[in-house]
Amino acid sequence: MKKAFIFDLDGVLCFTDKYHYEAWKTVADKLCIPFDESVNDRLRGVSRMESLEIILSLGDKTYSEEEKIKLAEEKNGVYRKLLENMTPSNVSDEVRRTLEELKSRGYKLAVGSSSKNTPLILEKCDLKKYFDAVSDGNNIKHSKPDPEVFLKAAEFLGLGSGDCYIVEDAEAGIDAGKAGGFTTIGIGCAARYEKTDICINTFKDILQTAV
Ligand code: BG6
Ligand code: MG
């Protein structure tokens, strides 16, 4: 029996993905690069700089390292302004009740997110109290699909990857989980991905896994 759940943040626990979309769109529009939901889906789970590279590859100009850093900072500035509007009401009762139920069943819970803004989001949404460990973009060198963020989360919990489920909405996150030897649970986009071990429709379906 597994001992823990490691949750992706954006698109799983809360819906910051719409803010990522809005912030990247501001940058892409300025550069006259086409940007829509299908491009945004390719950025799920991917680090800020790698996301920027994907967007720039859709245009025809080349950019210096300094220009890229400025563009990424600009995106993050817009994104953090949007995050300021977040409150605990941005996390559904379904998510909160499921996390509480998992804790009461004795599971350890962790966050495994590529985002460097994880601490701000957890604070704004009053989510930190549910988790025994947080591994995020601030403690890793390689972003998903590399397994580092999840392996670190398991290490922070004092567990091995065989003890933990990963809950993800991104294909890159499922690939990261599989590469690290975890059992993966996919929701949203990741529930339609052929490599996902367990596909769920809605967050509380996790409870059927954790019997
Ligand atoms: C992930 C998101 O959680 O974090 C990605 O799914 C995002 O879309 C990545 O690019 C990095 O986020 P941040 O907050 O460090 O720019
Ligand atoms: Mg995600």
40: number of CA atoms within 13 Å, CB side? 19
Per the prediction, the chain carries an average pLDDT of: 96
- Mutational test site, ligand 1, from 46, 68, 121, 146, max ligand atoms within 8 Å of CB: 46
Q: pLDDT (tens digit, 9 = 90+) per residue, 96-133?
A: 999 999 999 999 999 999 999 999 999 999 999 999 99
* Cα–ligand 2 centroid distance for 67 (angstroms): 27
Question: Ligand 1 atom closest to Cα of 170?
Answer: 6
The whole-number pLDDT of residue 130 equals 98
Residue with CA closest to ligand 1 atom 2: 45
The whole-number pLDDT of residue 211 equals 62
Give catalytic status of residue 136 as yes or no: no
* Annotated domain spans of the chain: 4-15+91-209, 17-83
Give catalytic status of residue 10 as yes or no: yes
Q: Is 172 in the pocket of ligand 1 (CB under 6 A)?
A: no
- Are 132 and 111 a contacting pair, CB within 8 Å? no
Could you tell me the fold of the domain covering 4-15+91-209?
Answer: Rossmann fold (3.40.50)
* Closest-CA residue to 169 (of 13, 3, 5, 32): 13
Could you tell me the fold of the domain covering 17-83?
Answer: DNA polymerase; domain 1 (1.10.150)
198-199: strand order across its sheet: 133-135, 108-112, 4-7, 164-168, 183-186, 198-199
